[in-house]
Structure formats: C-alpha cells, structure tokens
Structure 1
Amino acid sequence: MSQHEKTLAQYRQIIQTCQQIFEQKNKDYGTSWRILRLPSITDQIFIKAQRIRNIQEKGQQLVEDSVATEFAGIINYCVMALIQIQLTQDSRLELPLKELSDLYTQQVERNIQLLHKKNHDYGEAWRIMRISSITDIILMKLLRTKRIEDNLGKTLVSEGVDANYRDILNYAVFSLILLTQQEMKNIKPETTSV
C-alpha cells in the first residue's frame, strides 16, 4: 500500500467515525444546528480549538471530553458549515436523515479531492508536524474566517470562508490520524508470566 493509499484509508476511517457520531446526534437533536448562522458555527469551532490548545499548554484537563472528541467535533462543525453554505437558499430547519447523510458525504468527498491536490504539492508534510502546531494553524484559520465574516465575506486576494472550513476539516482529520498513531505506539505488548 502506497503512502497516499494509507492516508486515504486512515482519512476515510476517521470520517466514518465522525459521520456516525453526526448521525447519532441527529437522532437526538434533529438538525437544530440549521438555525445557526455561519459566524456562530465558526465560534463553536473556535471554542473547541481553544480548549484543545489550553489542554496542550496546561498538560491536563478537568472536563471529561477528550482532545480526540474535540477534533471530531471540529470536523462535524466544519461539515455543518459547508452544508449551510450549500443550502443558503434552503430555509428548512429539519432535513431528513438520508438527505443529510448524502450532503455530509458530498462535502467530505470534495474535501478528499482537496486532500489529493494538496498532498500532491506538499507531500505528506503534515505527518511530521506537531499536533500543537496543527492546533495553532486551525486557530489562525478561524481568526481569518472571523475577519472575513466581519467584513461581510469581502476579500481582496484571499479565498473565502468555505476554503478555510475545508482546510480546518483536513487539519482536524490529520490530528486524529496522528493521535491514533501515538496511541498505537504507547500500547505495550502484554507480558506473560511463566
């Protein structure tokens, strides 16, 4: 298996887990998030990324939700934002699960296309990054997004908010891949007594 195929397999595994959580939450809450405007979703993502950074800096956490759970939440909020952008002219607050699942898959497939392009140009550079650096990049992209939103979406030379959501989504997936690899390295083989 090539490195690219390995990345794609790991990416899809992370997304599958995140989509399952997304759909389970949909059964509990429906699509109540449809009421959120994009700046509110940006702020939700910011809160999660800021919590991750605080935990990284303090070296401990007091609330049970893990860093991995927060990265999964960032992924799902990015997908929500991308769906909101896609459905700008659709005012429905409730979406049927099948339609929602299809929209989720469509957005993720577009992100995978972006992954192919960026991995072609950058290689697998993210694999040698620290998770703390990825967290900082996510926060930077969120601050950029907030600035664009405050400027009512107008930019001179920059990509729009959708490009930032796509990058943040990919960085969150990369972080979960790296976290999973770290956990695997920390698993010691069981010792057996004779």
Structure 2
Amino acid sequence: MVGQTVSEYKEVISSCKELFEKKTSDYGTASWRILRLPSVTDLIFIKANRVRSIQEKGKQKVADNVQGEFMAIINYCLIAMMQLQLEGDTRLELPVAEAIDLYNKAAEDTLELLSNKNHDYGEAWRDMRVSSITDIILMKLLRIKQIEDNQGKTIVSEGVRANYQDMLNYAVFALIQMKDEKE
C-alpha cells in the first residue's frame, strides 16, 4: 500500500504542478511572491472553509468543484513553503525554471514526510472521511494563524512549515479518497 500511496501522491502533485505552471505562465511569479505568509494562510483558509461549507450544505452555487479547491490548497501550501525558502529574497519575478525547482523541492520534502508518517500510522488516512480531512486542514490553519500571531514563536509546537506540509498531505489524501469513491 505504501508504494501505491507514493505513486498516488505523485499523480496528484503532477496535476497540481501542471496547473501551477500554467498559472505561472499566465500571471508570472509576482502574483504570489507579493503575498506575505499570513495572506497565503488566509487563502488556504478560504478554500478549506468553502469545502466545509459545501460539505455541510450538500450543494454549491459556484461551479468551481471541490477537487479544484483541494488542488488549490496543495498549491498554496507549496507556495507558502517556497515563500519560506525565499525569505529575504525580494524578487517578485523569478525565472519559471527556478519557481518549478522550488515547487519540486517542496513537494519532494513533503513526500518524504508523508512516507515517514504513513509508515508509522499505517495508512490510517484511508479510513478517514473527507469531511474529517477538511476539518483537520482547518485545525492546522488555526494553528498556523496562532503561530503567525505570535510572530512565529512556539514553545513545544511544530513550526508553520510542518503544518503546511501536513495540510498538503491531507489535501492529497482527500483527492485520493474522492477519486477512489468515483471508481
């Protein structure tokens, strides 16, 4: 199963990366480089909150599908990790190749974390509800917001990067679950 999860993760990330590359071609990197980290956190919050709202109401009025919102969560988490990597770098426009390299590095680091946790937890996520995954993403967002409000200082907690990685992985799990439900 672990090998299957790695290949499913890579498949999801490949789709998200394709979207990221297209949007980077359309808008350039300034469209996300201009954002401070709390703004990226709030963008993720908006997406996760919309998913929860749709799950609770059982219908939606805007055509954007839930899968697209989870993909956006993944890409915004990767953007947040890239922003952390670029801390102190004031360039708004990055060469596309550099942006893709940063994206790939953040995705690979997160895959390594997923593999380690998946080993320890024994793929427990496969028995979770997508609605629970959404709630966990929202919980992680509230943690990040608190850490940001505390200027990044924590006593015993993981930092924001680890929380972005966890949210990314949960969003990947949600997409895998939703794909499996359709099949």
Fold-level similarity (TM above 0.5):
yes
Q: In the TM superposition, what is the alpha-carbon distance from 1:89 to its structure 2 partner?
A: 1.6
The AA in structure 2 aligned to 1:6 is: Q
Runs of 4+ in 1 over 4 A off after TM superposition: none
- For the residue of structure 1 that corresponds to 2:53, the secondary structure is helix
The structure whose Rg is larger is: 1
Q: In the TM superposition, what is the alpha-carbon distance from 1:120 to its structure 2 partner?
A: 1.2
- In 2: Cα distance, 1:181 partner to 1:145 partner: 30
Summarize the alignment of residues 1-194 of structure 1 with structure 2, pairs less than 5 Å apart: 3-31=1-29, 32-184=31-183
Q: In the TM superposition, what is the alpha-carbon distance from 1:160 to its structure 2 partner?
A: 0.5
The AA in structure 1 aligned to 2:24 is: N
Percent identity, aligned pairs only? Answer: 62
The AA in structure 2 aligned to 1:27 is: S
Q: In the TM superposition, what is the alpha-carbon distance from 1:5 to its structure 2 partner?
A: 0.9
How many residues are matched?
Answer: 182
Aligned-residue CA RMSD in angstroms?
A: 0.5
User: What are the Cα deviations for residues 171-193 of structure 1, in whole angstroms up to 9, with x where unaligned?
Assistant: 00000000111111xxxxxxxxx
Unaligned runs of 5+ in 2: none
Q: In the TM superposition, what is the alpha-carbon distance from 1:113 to its structure 2 partner?
A: 0.6
Q: In the TM superposition, what is the alpha-carbon distance from 1:116 to its structure 2 partner?
A: 1.2
Q: In the TM superposition, what is the alpha-carbon distance from 1:81 to its structure 2 partner?
A: 0.2
- In 2: Cα distance, 1:172 partner to 1:72 partner: 7
Q: TM-score, normalised by structure 1?
A: 0.93
- For the residue of structure 1 that corresponds to 2:157, the secondary structure is coil
Unaligned runs of 5+ in 1: 185-194
Q: TM-score, normalised by structure 2?
A: 0.99
Check the 8 A contact 2:126/2:177 in 1, yes or no: yes
User: What are the Cα deviations for residues 142-164 of structure 1, in whole angstroms up to 9, with x where unaligned?
Assistant: 00000000010011100111110
